Structure 1
Amino acid sequence: MPSQIETRLADLGVTLPDAAAPAANYVPYVQVGDLVFVSGQVSMDENGLIKGKLGADMDVDGGVAAARRCAIMLLAQARAACGGDLDRLTRVVKLTGFVNSTDTFGDQPKVINGCSDFLVEVLGDAGRHSRSAVSAASLPFGVAVEVEAIFQIS
């Protein structure tokens, strides 16, 4: 039987991918007590990495879409941390979003809203969180967005 969260995702037309393997010497998540710290998830979809630099070759709408994909990847990691049962996810505690952007681009918060809004759409009040949204001169593999998260699980 699918979890309530996966049912909600299906209602939105979203199927979570398998959790991505680490691209370097780190683990995808660490659990400490009831908190799960998920390593940064880069913007990618079924076609591969979503690359770009906000303020140069990508606009805010493209960045929002890339950040939404980061949210999907974060949930895939959370599902893995929960042993496949996303209903164990009780709250999104904190997001830190990194936006590959020019030095004159100032809409990082709007871009990271793509991740935040999606998590609230899926999880309701449990998706509301504290957050940082910062600029980065570059990100791994040239991706547009990377987001890390702290989740609370039962």
Structure 2
Amino acid sequence: MSITAKLKELGHDLPAAPTPAANYVPWTRAGNLLTISGQVSRTPQGEMLGGTVGGAVSPEDGKKAAEVAALNLIAQIAAATEGEIGGISRILRLGVFVASTPEFTGQSQVANGASDLIAAVFGEAGRHARSAVGVAALPGGASVEVEATVELVLP
């Protein structure tokens, strides 16, 4: 099944893979490992889901921002793999960064917005290790940034 078809089945559209905002590439591949650069919570319409979770942004809105960042991450995976879920052996790891107040400790719940979508799209291959880290600020004022390491099926 294609990534696009699976996302449609889940009620999402595959966005265009975002272009890098600075001097880096969106993904790199070494053998069967694919590393996806951090993807922020910018919607396909260009709206940044931004702000600080635990401040002006609720944990629920932070979780939605994590889902949007994960959609952008999936778009990069699709760009790197020609869009076929069958080319993915496993999502090995997600790194989820949450712009949050010093008092906020629910980063793992916010990160579930990304993890839940990845698991829904990739099934058992989407079960991953994860870090959820609170940070003072993210690029462009984003609420969430998500990066990944993916194991590919070798031809």
Q: Is the 8 A contact 2:16 2:75 kept in 1?
A: yes
Query: Which whole-Å CA distance do the structure 2 matches of 1:115 and 1:103 have between them?
Result: 22
After TM superposition, give the deviation of residue 118 of structure 1 in Å.
Answer: 0.8
1:52–1:58 CA contact under 8 A, matched in 2: yes
Name structure 1 gaps, 5 residues minimum: none
CA drift of 1:110 comes to: 0.3
Q: Please report how far the alpha carbon of residue 73 of structure 1 lies from its aligned counterpart in structure 2 after TM superposition.
A: 0.7
CA distance in 2, matches of 1:89, 1:49: 29
Q: Provide the residue aligned with 2:24 in structure 1.
A: 26
How far 1:8 sits from its partner (Å)?
1.9
Letter in 1 for 2:56: D
Residue in 1 aligned with 2:138?
139
Preserved contact between residue 16 and residue 44 of structure 2 (Cα < 8 Å): no
* Counterpart-to-counterpart distance in 2, 1:130 and 1:91: 11
Unmatched 5+ residue regions in structure 2?
none
The Cα of 1:88 is off from its aligned counterpart by 1.0
Aligned residues: 152
Q: CA deviation at 1:153?
A: 1.3
Whole-Å Cα distance in 2 between the matches of residues 84 and 127 of structure 1?
15
Structure 1 distance, partners of 2:64, 2:4, is 20
Whether 1:81 aligns to 2:80 is yes
Alignment of 1:1-154 (within 5 A): 3-47=1-45, 48-154=47-153
Provide the TM-score with structure 2 as the length reference. Answer: 0.93
TM-score (norm 1): 0.94
Runs of 4+ in structure 1 deviating by more than 6 angstroms, as ranges, are none
